[in-house]
Structure 1
Amino acid sequence: MNDLLAGLERAVGPEERRLWAVRCAHALGLEGIAVSLRQGAELVWFSDDISARLEDAQFTLGQGPGLTMDFDDTACQATDLDTDAGDRWPQFAEEARSLGVRAVFVWPVRSGGAQLGVLTGYRRTPGPLTCRQATDGLLVADALAVRLLDWRPETDVSVDGPGTAGAVDLHRAEVHQATGVLSCQLGVPLEEALVRLRAQAYASGLPLHDTARAILRTLPP
C-alpha cells in the first residue's frame, strides 16, 4: 500500500490518475472508487464510469451513503444493497442495483478536523470490508486529501469537459450553470433551482448532465 500511495505523486496526467485510482480500488477489494466534495456537489476524481454514475445518482436523488454526515474513523459500509440500504436510501439503492452494484463503502476525505468530501467505493458482490481494507481506505482518503489541497488549476494538466476519469476538474460545471439559469428564469434561490433541476432529471429518467445541457441549449447564442 505504501508504494501505491507514493505513486500518487507520479500520477500527473488524467490517464495516469485514472490508472492509479483503478489500482487503489483493486487493492481495497473494490471495482471502482470516486471522490466528491461538498456533500456530493462536485465530483473530482473517479476510476470508472460506474463510480461516476453512482456519485451522480447520489447528487441527483439527494440520498446515499456518501451524503451521511456522521463519519468517524471508520468506513460507512452498505454491505448489501438488497437488504441493508432499502430503508435508509431506497431510491439510491434501486439505482445502484440497476448498475450492478451490490455494496458501497464510504470514507471521509479530511484535513485535520475539516471534512473536504468523501471517498466512495463499490463492489458487485455483497459483503463487508476486511479490517485491513477498511484501514487502507482511510490511508487512500488521506493521500487524496493532500493531493486535492495541493492541486492548482494553473499547474495541473488541462482537461476539456466533464466525465474524464481520474481528473480533478469541474465535472458538474454544466449542472451549476443550468442551476443559475433556472434561478434567474424562475426567480428562486439557487438552492431551490438545484432541487427543481434534480427533480426534472429524476422525473425524465435522464442523467443530470443531459438535463442541464438541455436547459443550456435553450439559451440564445
Structure 2
Amino acid sequence: MSVEELLDGLEQAVDAGERRAWAVRCAHALGLEGIAVSLRWGAELVWFSDDVSARLEDAQFTLGQGPGIDADFTEVPHQVADLEAGERWPQFASEARALGVRAVFVWPVRSGAARFGGLTGYRKEPGFLTGPQAADGLRVADALTSRLLAWRSGAVVSPNEPGKAGAVDLHWAEVHQATGVLSCRLGVPMEEALVRLRARAYASGRPLTDTAREVLAQELPS
C-alpha cells in the first residue's frame, strides 16, 4: 500500500487497534519497522505501531535524552543512520541496541513554525533513508499534525477509560499523575519529582509506566 493510500485512510483509524494497524502499515511503507508519535518533546506518547517503538519513546522520556528530544531539524528528517557510530546519547543508544534498533529517524510534528512533537521511526539495520522515504515521512507527519491538532474536538471521555482523548490515547497519563503525587509527598517541584520518578525507573530497569503505577498504588487505601 502506498503512503498516499494510507493517508486517505487515516480518518478511518478510529479505535486503538485500528490506529496501531494503520501505523504498522505506514511504517512499512516508509521502509521502517515501527513508528511512534510523541508530543511536548517526548513528554506524552500518543500513537505507536509496536512495542519496540513504544519502548524507544519510553527510554527517551525516562533518560531525558535521545534524537526525538534533541533534534534541531537543520535537516528534515533528523537521521541517526547508525547508533553504533556516535556517542551523543550513550544511555539511549545502549537501550536502543538492547531492543535491536540500529537506526532512528525523526520528523517534526508542527504547524507552521510551531513544533509540538515528533514522529520517530526505527530500523534494525543501519543506513540512511532514501529521498522518497524522507519526503513521504514528512507527508505522514504533516497529516498526523492535522489529526492531533483536533484530537480533543468533540471528544467524549469515558470514566472507564482513563487517559482517552478522542483521536489518540495518553499513554503516559499515569506518569504525570504519579509525578504530581511525588511532588506533594516529597514537597518538591514537579520537575524534580519527574526526575526522581525517572531515576527510580532507570535504577530498577523497569518501564516508567510500571514505576508510575507502583507510586499510584501506594496512594490507594488498603
* TM, length-normalised to structure 1: 0.92
- Determine the structure 2 residue equivalent to 1:71: 73
- Determine the structure 2 residue equivalent to 1:98: 98
- Whole-Å separation in 2 of the counterparts to 1:120 and 1:27: 14
Q: Deviations over 1:101-149 (max 9, x none)?
A: 1111000001111112000000011111001111111000000000001
Q: Deviations over 1:63-89 (max 9, x none)?
A: 0000014124511111111113xx100
- Determine the structure 2 residue equivalent to 1:29: 31
| Distance 1:80-1:161 versus aligned 2 partners, 3 A rule | farther
Contact 1:109 1:118 in 2 (8 A): yes
- Whole-Å separation in 1 of the counterparts to 2:169 and 2:32: 23
Identity %: 71
Match of 2:83 among 81, 84, 95: 81
- The structure showing larger relative contact order (alpha-carbon pairs under 8 Å, at least 6 residues apart) is 1
* TM, length-normalised to structure 2: 0.92
- Aligned-partner SS, 1:53: helix
Is 1:170 the counterpart of 2:166? The answer is no
- Aligned-partner SS, 1:82: helix
Match of 1:18 among 16, 20, 23: 20
- Could you list the runs of 4 or more consecutive aligned residues of structure 1 that deviate by over 3 angstroms after TM superposition? 153-163
- Whole-Å separation in 2 of the counterparts to 1:105 and 1:62: 17
- Whole-Å separation in 1 of the counterparts to 2:188 and 2:151: 34
- Whole-Å separation in 1 of the counterparts to 2:84 and 2:19: 32
- Whole-Å separation in 1 of the counterparts to 2:34 and 2:153: 25
- Determine the structure 1 residue equivalent to 2:205: 205
Gaps of at least 5 residues in structure 2 are: none
- The range that moved more, 209-218 or 138-147, is 209-218
Contact 1:161 1:171 in 2 (8 A): no
Equivalent pairs counted in the alignment come to: 216
- Aligned-partner SS, 1:140: helix
RMSD over aligned CA atoms reads 1.9
Q: CA deviation at 1:157?
A: 8.4
Q: CA deviation at 1:30?
A: 0.2
Gaps of at least 5 residues in structure 1 are: none
Contact 1:13 1:157 in 2 (8 A): no
- The range that moved more, 186-195 or 71-80, is 71-80
- Determine the structure 2 residue equivalent to 1:149: 149
Q: CA deviation at 1:61?
A: 0.3
- The range that moved more, 64-73 or 111-120, is 64-73
